[in-house]
Chain A
Amino acid sequence: MSGILKSTLIMAMVAFIASFALSHINNITQPEILKQEKEKQKAALKAVLPGYSIKEIKTAPADDSDFQYWIAEKAEDENIVNGYAFITEKPGYSGTVKTMVGIDNSGRILGISILQQSETPGLGARSVEISSTGTFFGALFGSSDKTERKIKAWFQEQFEGLDSGKPIEILKKGDWNESMKQELTEKNAISAITGATITSRTVKDSIEAGIKKLNKIIQEEKTTAEVPE
């Protein structure tokens, strides 16, 4: 009997000390973690709504989970035009792919930013990969030119300027480059990541689904605003 009591006491003590220490660590790191998340969202908003300033953050109840979106505005030729950003997600090849999308008044995609993904390294994970112009030996010997540093992943960059009102096509043309731009814009299409069609399609589908939700919500808001109570 005393054996059980002793074991219980020791185990309880170990657990107590562990929780005590961890709660302190948590107190130290929690503000940093929250700050990081906020900054990430801020940077993403800036990337998907270039030149706009955020006016409102809204959450609307949607079918499965809450739909979070932002209303932003920008002065253009003495007029104030609206822009919208929203977060949309769909299961990819492995795990959920979460994307932030920015569109303007006419439904043109201003930019997208993949916030979260756990796709295969070297394949689907290339959706967030920024192609570096520098090579390893260049970096080693300091000869790589640092002025050309890109800040956007090519896969995400090619969504810019697409018309969200029309369906987005997926073409298999390999890695995106400037010369493809015209053809892709004409076809309202993107070039899929080689070997990661599922990831490419997931991002495209989630954007289309998100735009549908956003349009519906905006429409509903307009009708409720027009009809006086």
Chain B
Amino acid sequence: MVRDITIGQYFPGNSVLHNADPRLKLVLSFVAIIFIFVCNNFYSLALVALFSVVAVLSSKISLKIILKGLRPMLILLIFTSALQLFYNKQGEVLFTSRYLTITTGGIYTTIFMVIRIICLVLVSSLLTYTTSPTQLTDGIERLLSPLKVFGLKNGVHTLAMMMTIALRFIPTLIDEIDKITSAQKARGANLETGGIVKRAKALLPIFIPLLVNSFRHAFELSLAMSARCYNGGEGRTRMKQLKLQTRDYILMFSMLIFVGGVIALNIIFESVI
């Protein structure tokens, strides 16, 4: 069902990554993603893979959840490897027939792409797995706060608040979809059979109440917020002040070593793709 999606979910825990400063995590995942693309030979790729594995292990998130998150990528992986394997004509020819030619270059790039995509998904999903939505938006707001200089005084805060609210309501709405679907099914709504037009029409009894309920939630929330004197970001203080700590500097330092390693290996060894 809808609730089986794990990408973008948060799994509370107590680990190096969970406790790290969200601003730092945002920046570091961004840097890591760039360097996953920067690496261009198997030695630096090995370092990237090692880095990803260490990152996953240090998050203390169960492997089951990690693998579940990778599952939706399977089709993409198979598709790209098939394309690379059969259409890359570089390097020595290993096998050839009327339709297919497999070359060493093809095999290299296939392996490269697969490992790269897996690392990419692992590292980027770790960000949301280990950071609560509130922390995440808080981090984004802080990172974007220099934009205030350009006259976007309240904009950054509003944007962050909107993101927080949107993320907060995803589980609520999923719950509601489930409930409304059951209720309409109980009145004999048929959602499984019929052509595309018929099926699209059958979704109306679900979407209309969902939309109406979203508006109701929005009104109630805005009322609740103004009842607590919310009036935008100006002069607003925080209960949790973000401050970089020793552990954050250690994390930053390890990242520097990783980045330096990838660059060094890229220079020392020849590029294969």
Is B a genuine binding partner of A?
no
**Which A residues are within 8 Å of any B CB, using their own CB?**
none
